[in-house]
Amino acid sequence: MVQTNQIRLPSWLNNKTVFQQKVPFEIRGKAAPTATITLEISKDPTDGRRVSKLDAEYGIILSLETTTSPKGDFRFSIPAYDASTDAYTFIFRCLQNTVTISDIRCGDVWVFLGNDFLSIPMNRSEAPAAPMKRQVMSHLRFFTPARNGIEEGEEDIDYDEKEYFKDASWIKITDTKELSLVSSSAFSFAYTVADQVHYPIGIVDLSAEDSTIVNWISGEALANQTAVSDYLDELGLLIDRERYYRLVSRDLHDKKKDELEKKIEEGKKLHDFDLSMDAKLRELEGETPAPVKTEAPAELDFPSSVSASKGAASSADTSFAKSLDFSMMSDIAHKTGKKAEDSEYIKRKFRVSMLYKAKLCPMKGMPIRGIAFSPDTDEKLFGRYDLLLMGLLETLADTFEPKEVYEEALMPSLLMVAMHPGNIDYDYPYKVLEFNENLTAFTRQLNMPCGMVSMHDLLLPDKTKAFTLGVRLAIVSLGIHITPKMPKSCPECIGVERAGNKLILKFDNLGDGLRLQESESELRGFAVCGDDRIFYPANARILHGVRVMVWRDDVQDPVSVTYGFSPFPHDATFRNLNDLPVMPFRFDRDPAFYSPDLFFASCDKLEFIGIKEKGKDFEKLKVFRTYKGNGVITADSMNKTEGSASLHIRYETENGLYGFEPVLTYESIGAPLLLRDRTRMIVDIFNPDTVKKTLTVEGFGSKEIKQQLTWQTLVFAYEGEGDISIESLKFRIEDSSKNGEIYVDNIRFE
């Protein structure tokens, strides 16, 4: 906040501020040099009750005085206060200048930064249809500087660190216009927490769309952690002042050209031709910004060698992150936005320290309760993300208070958001899963409270996703800081016991217990393997709400288990009673073959959530379709052999034939389906009209369907060579009757 007099205060301290409860802190500012400055803090009840003048809890509760330095610097040490809905007023006086900061509250302060769902503002999202309590809403405060870091009057972010925001201020729920720009996740987080604790919650909303972790790391952290700076230098991402301004100049040039092109196109539509604008556009198109002359590598690629990036880390003196196994991540060379005419251009999202300078630096000295961080999709490309996390943590520790914690309950926490499956890299489909694995492994080794929150179960496009994320983050924060009985993270598998051919899985952060999603009746998403390390879908059952038993009949000696370990985990809907989904996992990282998505095999669903074409969003897709004749395919929950239902098909033949098939052309299926160490397919069939029929399966031959009112098991041998490979799987029924019906269930491969 810019002061109009000689007293300058921290940007985060202005009208409507929320400051952190139970934590002493310092207020540092500037005023007239070598002058006396005073601070008077008063407290008044907001519930309208009368207070005695003898009540020491209200009225003027603190008076401080100090002398500014020859440069005008001053600081006041503020004692710890308990959370309260009462109003504080801070009055600063120096010579003839007075600054009054009013409507201040004491509660919990949280910082939101990163990208993805955390950066979606209220005006681009929706909240679930549920009434909100006015009393709770009155506890919420938000501090939201310019989302992209560029304030009014600025063309771009400066290379030097910003000390003060120009126009950022705290807002309340009544500031509706400003509130619409607040992160939807931050709002739902604040509301959910305030509804439980009944005192003020302040959110410093710094999240920025299209940003990455390198934007938030400070220059000081780079100087202190040589492993981090060496790694970024190896990637060609460290730049000096001259080169930075050349990049900014390129951005402004391109922005002006794009804006001019848009205006000219709009003018053409209205038959309004402006020759001067056309001439200016030609001038911009012919104008080439001076090339960047630097010793940095011409190719700004991510490393193609894990060993190379590990070498950069070897110079770090002390870092437990070095012991983590981040080598599981696939290597990839990814361009950081190079353009043909300038081989050293770097996208804004890969410019080191940019958002730290514009958004984090002015927050120095602010005491907080915790931090929520969400990674950008491109962050999975960094081979040594552990090093970048260390750089971010040092930056945050240097920025916010308290730096020294003598009570464990006052230590700030870190809430990490796992990457969403929608960030799939089709060249390396398991990269998102591996990234989340490594993120979890990293947080487990930190000496500060940490929680992981996943959204892998929220696949469909939905404007309430960001709101839901905020609620989940709030549940975790309450578990860490307020209520020990609540989960401190999404549930994770923490142990596996062997009982015959069954595996018993233990989980942490159970809350009130484990359950299925409301729309589900079967526990799915698990897979097991034997000594051959070939995983296939397994049966699973919840035991007393606290453990899970997993088995597969044809695996007598299971050695490992996975859950939701698929690039498109549509079956991973298992959760605790606090509505936090169980994190996908694999028991070990030994080399293995993971089963393809056999989404059709259970025959109890007519729809599943997948991706039809590359580049499209998740959507509900049909599992089966008719390709010959006419048919109505339904799910029958009464007549079945396994699971929650079977397929009931009523059909009309075409020339005595009816054909149906699972749809394997969807992008998320990844056909052809390769089934290793499998030689046959088994299908359960029920023939209710007891008419002679034949079932032919593409690639597996034909079998006669008996005329009997019992379930039949048909066994088909694979006709190809080697392992089963399925590009399509067409089922054809030969029936001399014009109409008929049949039940199909429990398709399996052995």
Residue-by-residue DSSP string for 518-536: TT-SS---EEEE-TT-B-E
- Which of 40, 36, 18 has the alpha carbon at shortest distance from 90? 40
Q: 317 or 180: which carries more pLDDT confidence?
A: 180
Q: Is 122 exposed, middle or buried (0-12, 13-18, 19+ CB in 10 A)?
A: buried
How close are the terminal C-alpha atoms of the chain, in Å?
69
Task: Kindly report the backbone phi and psi dihedral angles of residue 607, in degrees, each rounded to the nearest multiple of 5, phi listed first.
Answer: -135, 155
How many contiguous H segments (helices) and E segments (strands) does the chain have?
12, 37
74 beta partners: 29
CB–CB of 455/423 below 8 Å? Answer: no
CB–CB of 366/202 below 8 Å? Answer: no
Query: Residue 134: which residues within 8 A CB-CB, separation 6 or more?
Result: none
Distance CA 720, CA 679 (A): 9
* Three-class SS state of 37: strand
pLDDT class for 494, splitting at 50, 70, 90?
A: very high
pLDDT class for 409, splitting at 50, 70, 90?
A: confident
- Which of 152, 182, 188, 161 has the alpha carbon at shortest distance from 170? 182
Per-residue pLDDT, 161: 96
Q: Is 739 exposed, middle or buried (0-12, 13-18, 19+ CB in 10 A)?
A: middle
Q: 422 or 289: which carries more pLDDT confidence?
A: 422
Read off the pLDDT of residues 722-748 as tens digits, 9 standing for 90 and up.
999 999 999 999 999 999 999 999 999
* Three-class SS state of 683: strand
Residue 157 has which token pair?
């972010």
Q: Mean pLDDT, to the nearest integer, of 406-426? A: 92
DSSP state of 4: S
Q: In b/e form, how buried is each residue of 448-482, taking b as 16+ CB within 10 angstroms?
A: ebbbbbbbbbbbeeeebbbbbbbbbbbbbbbbbbe
Per-residue pLDDT, 54: 63
Residue 122 has which token pair?
């209220």
661 beta partners: 625
pLDDT class for 407, splitting at 50, 70, 90?
A: confident
Position 148 pLDDT exceeds 60: yes
Position 13 pLDDT exceeds 80: yes
Residue 424 has which token pair?
């799939």
Distances (CA, A) of 529 to 238, 522, 559, 590, 594: 45, 20, 6, 12, 9
pLDDT class for 47, splitting at 50, 70, 90?
A: confident
The CA-CA-CA angle for residues 561, 566, 569, to 5°, reads 105
Question: Which residue is it, tokens 């959910």?
Answer: 192
Q: Count the Cβ atoms, other than its own, within 10 Å of residue 604.
A: 21
Read off the pLDDT of residues 327-357 as tens digits, 9 standing for 90 and up.
333 333 344 444 434 457 899 999 999 999 9
Residue 656 has which token pair?
């005595």
Residue 339 has which token pair?
């353009």
**E strand or H helix at 399:** helix 385-399
Distance CA 569, CA 588 (A): 18
Q: 264 or 695: which carries more pLDDT confidence?
A: 695
For each of the domains in the chain, give its residue range(s) and CATH number, in order of start: 493-586 (no CATH), 607-749 (2.60.120.260)
Q: Where are the beta strands (DSSP E) in 323-419?
A: 370-374, 413-417
Per-residue pLDDT, 335: 42
Read off the pLDDT of residues 705-725 as tens digits, 9 standing for 90 and up.
999 999 999 999 999 999 999
Provide, for the chain, the percentages of residues in helix, strand and coil under a 3-state DSSP scheme, each rounded to the nearest 5. 25, 30, 50
If you compute the radius of gyration of the chain from its CA atoms, what whole number of angstroms results?
31
Give the lowest-confidence range in 21-30, 173-182, 309-318, 407-416: 309-318
Distance CA 136, CA 201 (A): 10
Distances (CA, A) of 501 to 28, 497, 504, 550: 65, 11, 10, 9
Read off the pLDDT of residues 195-206 as tens digits, 9 standing for 90 and up.
999 999 999 999
Read off the pLDDT of residues 506-564 as tens digits, 9 standing for 90 and up.
999 998 899 988 777 789 999 999 999 999 999 999 999 999 999 999 999 999 999 99
Q: 258 or 388: which carries more pLDDT confidence?
A: 388
DSSP state of 8: B
Q: Is 501 exposed, middle or buried (0-12, 13-18, 19+ CB in 10 A)?
A: middle
Per-residue pLDDT, 340: 38
Question: Which residue is it, tokens 């694979």?
Answer: 718
Give the lowest-confidence range in 18-32, 94-108, 289-303, 624-638: 289-303
Residue 269 has which token pair?
């539509």
Per-residue pLDDT, 298: 30
Q: 328 or 263: which carries more pLDDT confidence?
A: 263
Per-residue pLDDT, 241: 94
Per-residue pLDDT, 289: 53
How far is C-alpha 289 from the geometric centre of its chain's CA atoms?
A: 37
pLDDT class for 253, splitting at 50, 70, 90?
A: confident
Q: Count the Cβ atoms, other than its own, within 10 Å of residue 732.
A: 18
Q: Mean pLDDT, to the nearest integer, of 458-480? A: 95
Read off the pLDDT of residues 642-690 as tens digits, 9 standing for 90 and up.
989 999 999 999 999 999 999 999 999 999 999 999 999 999 999 999 8
Query: Residue 699: which residues within 8 A CB-CB, separation 6 or more?
Result: 718, 719, 720, 726, 729
CB–CB of 492/582 below 8 Å? Answer: yes
Distances (CA, A) of 665 to 94, 660, 670, 671: 74, 14, 8, 7
pLDDT class for 272, splitting at 50, 70, 90?
A: low
Position 300 pLDDT exceeds 60: no
Distance CA 454, CA 436 (A): 9
How far is C-alpha 285 from the geometric centre of its chain's CA atoms?
A: 39
Note the pTM of the prediction, 2 decimals.
0.89
How far is C-alpha 411 from the geometric centre of its chain's CA atoms?
A: 23
CB–CB of 591/560 below 8 Å? Answer: no
Distance CA 544, CA 521 (A): 16
Give the lowest-confidence range in 143-152, 267-276, 462-471: 267-276
* Portion of the chain with pLDDT greater than 70, in percent: 88
Per-residue pLDDT, 625: 97
